[in-house]
Amino acid sequence: MDYYPEPIENLISEFAKLPSIGKRSAERLAISLVFEDDDKVNSFIEAIRLVKSTVKQCTICGNLTDGEICSVCSDRSRNGKLLCVVESVKDLIAIEKSGEFRGKYFVLGNLLSPIKNLELSDIVIDKLKNRVKDGVEEVILAISPTIEGEMTGIFIKEVLKEFDVVVTKIASGIPVGGNLEYFDGDTLFKALEDRREI
Amino acid sequence: MDYYPEPIENLISEFAKLPSIGKRSAERLAISLVFEDDDKVNSFIEAIRLVKSTVKQCTICGNLTDGEICSVCSDRSRNGKLLCVVESVKDLIAIEKSGEFRGKYFVLGNLLSPIKNLELSDIVIDKLKNRVKDGVEEVILAISPTIEGEMTGIFIKEVLKEFDVVVTKIASGIPVGGNLEYFDGDTLFKALEDRREI
């Protein structure tokens, strides 16, 4: 049974389609817009329109850009010999926020996942090969250490075998500030295995 | 420093203005729209537009409606002698969902709050008085039992003193299914005080 007028029910289901928005949040959001000034709602709508009409993926790396080439790819001060492979734009931004990495990126779009029936498309693999051919010396796999992530890493390593390139992956271990006792055996094992001299 | 193209940063801040959307969710939402089909984004925008152009507050009770009078107020089978006063449309819908109440409503819009510098406007008070004058026999205050809620209840009781009307408020106590040991002393005291013979 519908408790709200139909346009509200409709907007609630539109909000609920967005990631991480549950039914309750969708209700709150839809109602809040009724009480919001027209101007504010219009600028919200305009912001959505502008993103849809101007923002695309960078044709080189897959990062988001409002031009053709993203700000990382067009930054000549960055080291093109270091190529960091990530699953998504969000992961790319997370690494950028750390402020430590000065190489370039390649966004896969998804990981290999037999369960979700996902593979890496030929287009993505060809693009990656072309990037690597173009003078890359090290490919860093900055992929979450899940089963899908590990599988994807092994697959990429295999795909790049024909090139003279070092393939590395980011370290697994205890997060900085993390409390050792709360982490699982696999993580502790990895942390011990990858120990470093101080 | 901006890590995203400007239209994305802009949309992130628009999303973050909405209730219960934090910075992280706003980022996720803004990026998700880039990867969404144009059709879906357009129907989202249309849903917002439709709400803004058609949904208003019922002129009688303050509930949401896409007409002049809401579905509750125009329902002749409901008991107009019972008037349930609530803080917000969300509270009204919560009571409707319980399916137990067959009277009518009055939405205050806000509670009295000296801290937030909020009072009940003269317009709202006049409207409430006019409703009560119009044959109401019992006013049920269905207001959260917070300090603001209690203050508002006392104020409304005072305002309605001149009318021949019973003013009641919803019971405070342990929620159904709640575990007694987890509730505070005030709640337990109220629950004991308002005990009923079974």
Q: Is residue B179 part of a domain?
A: no
Rounded to whole angstroms, how far apart are CA atoms A38 and B134? 34
Chain B hits for A14, Cβ within 8 Å: 43-44, 47-48
In chain B, whose CA is at the least distance from the CA of A109? B35
Same domain membership, residue B165 and residue B80: yes
Q: Is residue B63 part of a domain?
A: no
Same domain membership, residue B116 and residue B148: yes
Number of domains in chain B: 2
Query: pLDDT tens digits, residue range A103-118?
Result: 999 999 999 988 888 8
Same domain membership, residue A20 and residue A82: no
Q: Is residue A188 part of a domain?
A: no
Rounded to whole angstroms, how far apart are CA atoms A160 and A165? 8
Q: Is residue A186 part of a domain?
A: no
Radius of gyration of chain A (CA): 22
Min distance B102 CA to chain A CA atoms (Å): 14
Q: Give, rounded to a whole angstrom, the gap between the first and last alpha carbons of chain B.
A: 65
Min distance A128 CA to chain B CA atoms (Å): 21
Select from B147, B148, B128, B149 the least CA-distant residue to B139: B128
Alpha carbon distances (Å) from B93 to A57, A165, B60, B103, B116:
42, 62, 16, 13, 25
Rounded to whole angstroms, how far apart are CA atoms B151 and B129? 18
Subunit contact B3:A32, Cβ cutoff 8 A: no
Distance of CA A113 to the CA centre of its chain: 16
Same domain membership, residue B83 and residue B129: yes
Q: Which two tokens stand for residue B97?
A: 């969902």
Alpha carbon distances (Å) from A35 to A6, A140, A148, B39:
17, 49, 44, 26
DSSP structural state of residue B142 = -
Q: Is residue A190 part of a domain?
A: no
Residue A2 has pLDDT above 90, yes or no: no
Alpha carbon distances (Å) from A8 to A18, A31, B50:
16, 7, 9
pLDDT at B29: 95
Q: Is residue A98 part of a domain?
A: yes
Rounded to whole angstroms, how far apart are CA atoms A118 and B191? 55
Q: Is residue B139 part of a domain?
A: yes
Range of the domain at B120: 74-169
Question: By the 8 A CB rule, do A69 and A57 touch?
Answer: no
Residue A66 forms contact with B (CB below 8 Å) = yes
Q: Is residue A196 part of a domain?
A: no
Query: pLDDT tens digits, residue range B94-142?
Result: 999 888 899 999 999 999 988 888 888 889 999 999 999 999 999 999 9
Rounded to whole angstroms, how far apart are CA atoms B78 and B103? 5
Same domain membership, residue A88 and residue A29: no
Query: pLDDT tens digits, residue range B153-197?
Result: 999 999 999 999 999 999 888 888 888 888 888 888 888 888 888
> pLDDT-based confidence at A179, cuts 50/70/90?
confident
Alpha carbon distances (Å) from B108 to A57, B61, B150, B171:
48, 9, 14, 19
Alpha carbon distances (Å) from A146 to A113, A160, B114:
11, 21, 52
In chain B, whose CA is at the least distance from the CA of A12? B47
Q: What is the CATH number of the domain that holds A162?
A: 3.40.1360.10
Same domain membership, residue A94 and residue A48: no
Chain A hits for B3, Cβ within 8 Å: 93, 96-97
Rounded to whole angstroms, how far apart are CA atoms B8 and B6? 5
Query: pLDDT tens digits, residue range B81-100?
Result: 999 999 999 999 999 988 88
Alpha carbon distances (Å) from A163 to A81, A126, A130, B141:
13, 13, 11, 75
DSSP structural state of residue B146 = S
Same domain membership, residue A49 and residue A99: no
Longest dimension (CA), chain A: 66
Same domain membership, residue B32 and residue B94: no
Chain A hits for B56, Cβ within 8 Å: 34
At residue A146's C-alpha, the angle toward residues A145 and A152, to 5°, is 85
Order the strands of the A166-169 sheet from edge to edge.
A103-107, A79-86, A138-141, A166-169
Rounded to whole angstroms, how far apart are CA atoms A110 and A89? 10
At residue B40's C-alpha, the angle toward residues B39 and B46, to 5°, is 90
Amino acid of residue B109: G
Same domain membership, residue A151 and residue A88: yes
Rounded to whole angstroms, how far apart are CA atoms A3 and A73? 51
Min distance A160 CA to chain B CA atoms (Å): 28
| Cβ under 8 Å to A: B residues 75-134 | 89-90, 93, 96-97
Same domain membership, residue A46 and residue A87: no
Same domain membership, residue B94 and residue B146: yes
Phi, psi of B184 (to 5 degrees): -75, 165
| Cβ under 8 Å to A: B residues 14-33 | 14, 17-21, 25, 27-33
> pLDDT-based confidence at A1, cuts 50/70/90?
low
The residue among A51 and A189 whose pLDDT is bigger is: A51
Rounded to whole angstroms, how far apart are CA atoms B75 and B102? 10
Subunit contact B43:A8, Cβ cutoff 8 A: no
Query: pLDDT tens digits, residue range B12-24?
Result: 999 999 998 999 9
Q: Per-residue pLDDT averaged across A150-168, rounded? A: 93
Q: What is the CATH number of the domain that holds B10?
A: 1.10.8.420
Cβ atoms within 10 Å of B118's Cβ, excluding its own: 14
Q: Which two tokens stand for residue B31?
A: 């990026």
Helices assigned H by DSSP within B17-166:
23-34, 38-54, 89-98, 122-133, 147-159
> pLDDT-based confidence at A98, cuts 50/70/90?
confident
Same domain membership, residue A157 and residue A79: yes
